Amino acid sequence: MAKVDLVMFEEEYKQLQEIISRLQADSSSKVVFLVDKNGQQIAAAGDVRSIDATSLASLTAGNVAATDGLAKLIGEKEFTLLFHEGEKDNLHISIVGKRGILVVIFDMNSSLALVRLRVKKTSRDLQEIFEKVEQRAQNVVGDASFESPFSEITDEDIDKLFGD
Amino acid sequence: MTFINYASREINCKIVYYGPGLCGKTTNIQWIFEQANPEKRGKLVSLATETDRTLFFDFLPLDMGTVKGFKVRFHLYTVPGQVFYDASRKLILRGCDGMIFVADSQRPRMEANIESIANLATNLKENGFDIRSIPYVLQLNKRDMPSAATVEEMEHLLRFRNEPMIEAVANRGTGVIETLKACARQILMELQKS
């Protein structure tokens, strides 16, 4: 059975959005993305229209997964931080809790030191929200009164998706 | 792992194309990319070698429309088929919701198909999935090749759980959408159950 283990509700989503918007402002960075380790984008702040966010999420997750594999090869649990330095823009990628990846894109208006400092504080806040999300998902599973909107998906619904 | 976002009313599902080297995994998603409405598809990202062999993965996001008021988005991935890229293959299976096994119908490739299914079972298990229960479709690709084995032979060798089995010629698009649809159907029906 497919594991439905990331369910995001309005309240937590808003909180995540607020936190990364604050990070983007406080670190003077261009864009901040929060993505899931499986490559799904969760939230974004800043000039997001300048970047293909879906590809960025997928490639970041691939990058983190490959680095994770490298860490294990040399006997490390994981590398929690990746930094890519470009001519103009830089990419700061860090792991948040068990499932999140925080991506900060910044240029000469900021610095690696400032981004690292702000990311550290933000990571703790994000982790708390992730724990709440997980807790809530578990509560929902155990709550008989919660009715999933997908409990009545029909063959026709699926045919419609494919334009039949 | 399906990501359901109640705030943006979106469902994101990950489908992975698996199979031996040169069986047509990338061809499947390239065909989908070419046929899809440009407004509904994202960029096709291919991490390939200079000789166009998949090095890490291909990735194509597809917006499918809505179900029960939720936007459904599929993320299609392929794995590198060559035997020595096993570590990379394992990583790509993380958090997948459904699998499409692309088998090469040419007789000399039958051994490679069998080995690749065994490899898939091992790698799924390492990611916490069971090949006997995850949404799964078997595509018999390259049906137009002169050395193609019969469907009965392939079914006998490769089909193990009464999964949907679809004949295809991916470079012409035959069977490509049917395969994706068969997998999508199983994933969305799983959502219904959970």
Dump pLDDT digits (tens) for B58-111.
999 999 999 989 999 999 999 999 998 999 999 999 999 999 999 999 999 999
A window 21-50, beta carbon within 8 A of B: 36-40, 42
Measured between beta carbons, the chain B residues lying within 8 angstroms of A162 are 64, 177, 181, 184
Q: How far apart are the first and last CA of chain B?
A: 12
Q: Is the per-residue pLDDT at A3 higher than 60?
A: no
Mean pLDDT rounded to a whole number for chain A? 90
Determine, for residues A39 and B68 on separate chains, whether the beta-carbon distance falls below 8 Å: no
Q: Is the per-residue pLDDT at B12 higher than 50?
A: yes
Determine, for residues B45 and A149 on separate chains, whether the beta-carbon distance falls below 8 Å: no
The percent of residues in chain B predicted with pLDDT above 70, rounded, is 99
The residue-averaged pLDDT of B112-128 equals: 97
Would you call A138 an interface residue with chain B, using a CB distance cutoff of 8 Å? no
> With bands split at pLDDT 50, 70 and 90, how would you rate the model's confidence at A5?
low
pLDDT at site B2: 85
Mean pLDDT rounded to a whole number for chain B? 95
pLDDT at site B20: 97
pLDDT at site B192: 80
Three-class SS state of B78: strand
- Compute φ and ψ for A131, nearest 5 degrees: -65, -40
User: HEC states along A32-95?
Assistant: EEEEECCCCEEEEEECHHHCCHHHHHHHHHHHHHHHHHHHHHCCCCCCCEEEEECCCCEEEEEE
Place of tokens 């991490």: B47
Determine, for residues A65 and B189 on separate chains, whether the beta-carbon distance falls below 8 Å: no
When CB atoms are compared, the residue of A42, A153, A160 closest to B189 is: A153
Query: What's the DSSP call for residue B79?
Result: -
The domains found in chain A, sorted by start residue, are 26-136 (3.30.450.30)
Determine, for residues A38 and B42 on separate chains, whether the beta-carbon distance falls below 8 Å: no
pLDDT at site B17: 98
Measured between beta carbons, the chain B residues lying within 8 angstroms of A158 are 67, 181, 184-185, 188
Three-class SS state of B107: helix
Q: Is the per-residue pLDDT at B161 higher than 80?
A: yes
Dump pLDDT digits (tens) for A98-155.
889 999 999 999 999 999 999 999 999 999 999 988 888 778 767 766 777 788 888 8
Q: Which of A19-28, A39-48, B96-105, B107-116 has the lowest mean pLDDT?
A: A39-48
Report the amino acid identity of residue B42: G
When CB atoms are compared, the residue of A4, A62, A152 closest to B56 is: A62
CB of B168 closer than 8 Å to CB of B179: yes
Nearest residue of B to residue A149, measured between CA atoms: B68
Tokens representing A156? Answer: 């026709």
Q: What is the pTM of this model?
A: 0.92
Length of chain B: 194
What is the distance in angstroms between the Cα of A72 and the nearest Cα belonging to chain B? Answer: 12
Domain extent at residue B31: 3-193
Determine, for residues A38 and B67 on separate chains, whether the beta-carbon distance falls below 8 Å: no
CB of B1 closer than 8 Å to CB of A6: yes
The residues, any chain, with a CB within 8 Å of residue B64's CB and separated by 6 or more, are A161, A162, B40, B72, B73, B74, B184
Three-class SS state of B10: strand
Mutate to test the interface with A, among B44, B45, B86 (most CBs of A within 10 A): B45
Tokens representing B40? Answer: 């509904």
Q: Is the per-residue pLDDT at A2 higher than 60?
A: no
When CB atoms are compared, the residue of A13, A55, A151 closest to B5 is: A13
Q: Is the per-residue pLDDT at A4 higher than 70?
A: no
Nearest residue of A to residue B187, measured between CA atoms: A2
pLDDT at site A164: 63
Give burial (CB, 10 Å; 0-12/13-18/19+) of B27.
Answer: buried
Determine, for residues B187 and A66 on separate chains, whether the beta-carbon distance falls below 8 Å: no
> With bands split at pLDDT 50, 70 and 90, how would you rate the model's confidence at B121?
very high
* Paired sense of beta strands B10-18 and B98-104, if any: parallel
* Total structural domains within chain B: 1
Would you call A51 an interface residue with chain B, using a CB distance cutoff of 8 Å? no
pLDDT at site B10: 92
CATH number of the structural domain spanning residue B45: 3.40.50.300
When CB atoms are compared, the residue of B75, B94, B190 closest to A2 is: B190
